[in-house]
Amino acid sequence: MMCDSSNLTFREIFLISLLQVFILCILLMPYIVLTTKESAEFRNNIREKKNYFSDTGHSYLDISRKHTDERQKVKRISFLKVQKSGSSTVACILIRFGIYNNLSMFLPKQTFISEKEQKLLLREKRHYDVYMIHTFYNYNFFTHIVYNPNIIGIIRRPETRLISHAFFSKLSMKYNSLRGLNDQDFINKIVENTKRYRVNNVMGRFFGLQDTTISEKALQDKLLKLNAEFKLVLILEMLDESLIILKRYFRWSVFDIIYAAKKTRHHDNVHLNASQIRHLKLTNNIEYAIYKFFYEDLKRKIQNAGEDLVQEVARFKHILNQTQTFCNKHGNNGKYFTVKASDWDDSFTVSKRDCRIIFEEDVRQLKKGRYTYL
């Protein structure tokens, strides 16, 4: 029986319409619930995948894995850039990786971020993929400037780091009272009183260990805490081994870690005798404690990485030599060379454009965007 809508009142028409909507909702409810449930599962899956990839650099990584999966490369990194420890060399690796992978990088004009500037940056809600500017380590800052980062650092044998730092400062005219001394006498004066010349416990300050009166027990506890927060601390004296470990941890390729030494300084050979070394170990004990702790930690990581690590490091050194030979050739003969696949890596090519960004660009140029690889 059909209803004649012309004979219905407005109120009756409204009630009929409302009833129709109600019936339609009942009929569609199973689909609405299913869609909502599937949407929640999808979000959870995305969240789990996001956590998996971010955790890849932390707890769940099998460092014996050989080949690279672009989807699983670790791409969020906070780097503790310690002065005169080969940190500019590693920073250039990170910047190049950021450029090639279109990552956001914190690259301010200044070369050092003070603790005051850290606090200002903490107030901002902006995050980056990569951080690699000189600053003193603060866990809250490092995990804010890069969300859920893989934290790495680099250190160097304390006496050689001290010598490099001293000559760097000498070139910048910070030691007016030591002008005119030959290189050996200059270093002898520095070693006598590292505190006076502000080169004492530098690595300690960068790692947030500024209290030189800290007890041995408290110092070891701090180092254990740092070790839990850092994915890897590279050692300059074992840079190639360190980078291969980093490559495996981060699921990078050999191409990603090819490097050229940056900011190398030349001076006369200087020598520290046994008495001077003993003096430094007493007056800069935190530096030596840091070096000993992370040196032993890296040795354990190397040992746990498998017997083939030695062969992979040897191959990496060979590739570095090949790359340098190719890049040193002038002219356009051979615009690229190919590195064949191996048990540890897939095949890749190095072009003349890659050569320029690897060997010719430094941190300052890269920070300014004055790279010539495009």
What's the pLDDT tens digit per position in 85-125?
999 999 999 999 999 999 999 999 889 999 999 999 999 98
What's the whole-number mean pLDDT along residues 205-217?
Answer: 94
pLDDT of 33: 37
Give the pLDDT band of residue 18 (cuts 50, 70, 90).
Answer: low
Residue 57 has pLDDT above 60, yes or no: no
> Check: CATH 3.40.1190.20 for 71-303?
no
Q: Are 150 and 229 in contact (CB under 8 A)?
A: no
Give 153's strand partners: 80, 233
Q: Are 108 and 120 in contact, with CB atoms under 8 Å apart?
A: no
Q: What is the DSSP letter of 263?
A: S
Comparing 10-19, 111-120, 246-255, 258-267, which segment has the lowest mean pLDDT?
10-19
Highest mean pLDDT among 33-47, 210-224, 251-265: 210-224
Partnered with residue 337 across adjacent β-strands are: 350
Confidence of residue 341 (pLDDT cuts 50, 70, 90): very high
* Contact (CB, 8 A) for 88 and 362: yes
Q: What is the pLDDT of residue 39?
A: 36
pTM: 0.79
Half-sphere exposure of 239 (CA within 13 A, CB side): 20
Residue 255 burial by Cβ neighbours in a 10 Å radius (0-12, 13-18, 19+): buried
Question: Which pLDDT belongs to residue 180?
Answer: 82
Between 41 and 237, residue with greater pLDDT: 237
Burial of 82 (C-beta count, 10 Å sphere; 0-12/13-18/19+): buried
- The backbone torsions φ and ψ at residue 78, rounded to the nearest 5 degrees and listed phi first, read -110, 125
* Angle formed by the axes of helices 309-328 and 239-250, nearest 10°: 110
